[in-house]
Amino acid sequence: MRMIGLAGWSGAGKTTLLTRVIPLFVARGLRVSTIKHAHHSFDVDVPGKDSWQHREAGASEVMVSSGRRFALMRELRGEPELTLPELLAKMSPVDLLIVEGFKADRHPKVEVHRAANDKPFLHPRDSAIVGLATDASPTADIPTVHLDDIVGIAAMMERLAAPLDEILAREAADH
């Protein structure tokens, strides 16, 4: 399993980019999974539904299952947020795992930068950024692809993705 991250300021287009590169990988026969970091309280459940009521009643975990999919929700209830390595351990093996967010973590990342955001580039201060997707004219010493070149960005992401076991070993050595 190989992993690459996407990092960038809010509004840079990380999610839009993901929704455009994932079909390219899938069309090539790759199995792809994603992890998305949220900086706020979020809910994947619908208030009032049975599973929501189970969580509201105090269940630690609620699994919803059907013939098409299942989802497991775990309430932290004051426990610390799981680290990226802890979350990675819960993922099923796939060919390519793409992480959106977790920009402070040290896994290899492609920076998504949109000039209209008027935000500084992240890569000069983050050595874990190994590629850049932007519509600006950067002077970066890392591989750079224009934000509209989805095929080029997908190729760069696949080329720069690192084996998960190497990433986890580096994380363990850093802590």
Pairing type for strands 32-36 and 129-134 reads: unpaired
Give the pLDDT score at 137: 84
Give the pLDDT score at 175: 63
- For the entire predicted model, the pTM comes to 0.89
Strand, coil or helix: 158: helix
From CA 136, how far away is CA 144, in angstroms rounded? 10
Give the CA distances from residue 17 to residues 53, 77, 109, in Å, rounded to whole numbers and listed in that order.
Answer: 35, 33, 14
The pLDDT tens digits of the residues spanning 108-122 come to 999 999 999 999 999
pLDDT at 2 over 90: yes
Provide mean pLDDT across the span 88-107.
92
pLDDT at 45 over 90: no
Contact (Cβ atoms closer than 8 angstroms) between residue 131 and residue 157: yes
Give the pLDDT score at 21: 97
pLDDT at 163 over 90: yes
37 closest CA partner among 96, 91, 116, 98: 98
Tokens 């500084």 correspond to: 120
The C-alpha angle 49, 50, 55, rounded to 5 degrees, equals 100
Domains of the chain, first to last: 2-40+80-174 (3.40.50.300)
Give the pLDDT score at 48: 87
Question: Which DSSP symbol is given to 141?
Answer: S
Among 8-17, 72-81, 124-133, where is mean pLDDT lowest? 72-81
The pLDDT tens digits of the residues spanning 64-95 come to 988 998 888 888 888 999 989 899 988 999 99
Give the pLDDT score at 46: 81
pLDDT at 63 over 80: yes
Give the pLDDT score at 22: 97
